Structure 1
Amino acid sequence: MNKLLVNTPQNVQIEYNIASVGKRILAYIIDIIIRIFLVIALYYFSTLIPVKDKWFTYGIFSLLGFIFLLYPLVLEILMNGQTFGKWLMRIRVLRIDGNRANNFDYFLRWVIGLVELYLFTGIIALITIMINKKHQRLGDIVANTCLIDLNPKLDLSQTIFENISNTYKIRFPEVYKLSDRDINIVKDNFNIAMKKNDYDILLKLTRKLEEIMDVKSDGLGNIDFIQIIIQDHYHYHKDK
């Protein structure tokens, strides 16, 4: 599986798995099915309105067309880079630099998608995705985005523990106060915070660790502090 490696401003390397071509195609098919059912349902309800003329009919068909076309754009904005299809397949739109995509990024993906997905029946998009190492279609390339797989959890051993020397010295010996269950909770929440760039979670984790261990973060940033605590816990227990 292809990887997306991102260096955060704190110089911590985060690794994401790129969504596979198969998952992207399945998510797209699911969304198409949902859109078709949505349009059919709305059209059915419109036929129940007793008073209508040709302008009403034109308006209904225009509305249904807009709903069909705007579906991915609106949902990606409202669902933070996901549609119902992407949500079911556990994939999400993310910027190549690791940040959340913004509304303009979603708009660029959508506009280019109107051409490559509808005008050319998806052939261009499929070819581009298959030959691109990050599985990007043209809309992704223009918007500088890609789709990541949310299923595999971030493996901290590939990031935090990758280059730890055997001469590592524990900085916070109070780490003995943390149980395995505590550190697993810290790891899980750290993963979530780093994936979402949620610095509020990181701050809360730091404050909770300071409280439990009765220490101060000693001027370290939240990410560095949590990273050191996880490293300390690992080395404190690895030979026990």
Structure 2
Amino acid sequence: MASIRVHTTQNVTLEYQVASIGDRIVATLIDSLVQIAYVAVWVGIFYWIGASSGRAARHSDWHWGDAGTIGAALVLFLIAAPYLFYNLLCEIFLNGQSIGKKARHLRVVRLDGTAPRVGDYFLRWLLRFVDMFFYGAVAMITIAANGRGQRLGDLAAGTSVINLRAQPAPVPSAASLAPPAGYQPVFPQAANLADHDAALLHRLLARPLTPATATLLHEAALKTKDLLRIHTDLDDAAFLHTVLRDHAHLTHEAAAR
């Protein structure tokens, strides 16, 4: 299974397992079924409305006018919008996942370690129409060729799709956290992190990266940011690694004085 290494601006390297083409195809099929079901529901509703209107029309002289036609077009657009923007809306509001990706434990991430932005999701969605040429052949060829799990939309947005299933996670040892000579802490507030909290974060980061662990990492990152009053766009794991490295450096400096 291919993997990618994300080297953040805070000197932290994270390794992720790239989602396989098979997993991405299955996720796309699940998303397609969701969209088909959505369309089927509305077809049924319109059929019922049409049948009711037909019965009513036989007993009246009422007919659609221009205003009615415009209104119908607006209603059709509002109904079609969730179908057309399905992937974009899902990834924005479900933290880089669609229903299919969530079912296959996949997620969109940026290659610089920061959280994907709305513009990144938009680029992925926009180029999806190119990727899907020839029944997805363009997307599959691009993913297989670049070795980083990127289709055209990912290449443009600087993103990839990773697999959140159990995989070896980097264990934050003392050596891995040891900063280089002349290291400048990214978050000076890390000095306020209690030693027992740092130990808990060490153990959490040493766990295999599963969906459950990803949720715990997110909760731990939020609590740490709130406790230390830190604002950052770093990915949860990258943020916690950086805080631990800063904490180790600042603790060592304080003990050496």
Give the Cα–Cα distance (whole angstroms) in 1 for the partners of residues 200 and 83 of structure 2. Answer: 47
What's the Cα RMSD here?
3.8
| Counterpart in the other structure of 1:120 | 134
| Counterpart in the other structure of 1:224 | 245
| CA distance 1:59–1:186, change in 2 (3 Å) | closer
- Of 106, 109, 112, which aligns to 1:91? 106
Cα contact 1:160–1:227 (8 A) shared by 2: no
| CA distance 1:24–1:121, change in 2 (3 Å) | same
| CA distance 1:84–1:164, change in 2 (3 Å) | closer
| Counterpart in the other structure of 2:84 | 69
Which amino acid letter does the alignment assign opposite residue 154 of structure 2? D
Residue 152 of structure 2 is aligned to residue 138 of structure 1: yes
| Counterpart in the other structure of 2:26 | 26
Give the Cα–Cα distance (whole angstroms) in 2 for the partners of residues 187 and 11 of structure 1. Answer: 19
Percent same amino acid at aligned positions? 30
**Relative to structure 2, which stretch is displaced further, 68-77 or 5-14?**
5-14
| Counterpart in the other structure of 2:191 | none
Cα contact 1:43–1:64 (8 A) shared by 2: no
How far is the alpha carbon of 1:222 from its aligned partner? Answer: 2.7
Structure 2: segments with no counterpart, 5+ residues: 54-62, 179-193, 230-241, 250-257
Cα contact 1:10–1:224 (8 A) shared by 2: no
Question: 1:28-69: CA deviations, max 9, x gaps?
Answer: 010001100111112212333344958366556544543322
Structure 1: segments with no counterpart, 5+ residues: 166-173, 208-220, 229-240
2:135 aligns to what SS in structure 1?
coil
Q: How many residues align?
A: 202
**Relative to structure 2, which stretch is displaced further, 47-56 or 119-128?**
47-56
| CA distance 1:77–1:47, change in 2 (3 Å) | same
How far is the alpha carbon of 1:197 from its aligned partner? Answer: 10
2:31 aligns to what SS in structure 1?
helix
How far is the alpha carbon of 1:183 from its aligned partner? Answer: 6.2
Give the Cα–Cα distance (whole angstroms) in 2 for the partners of residues 186 and 43 of structure 1. Answer: 48
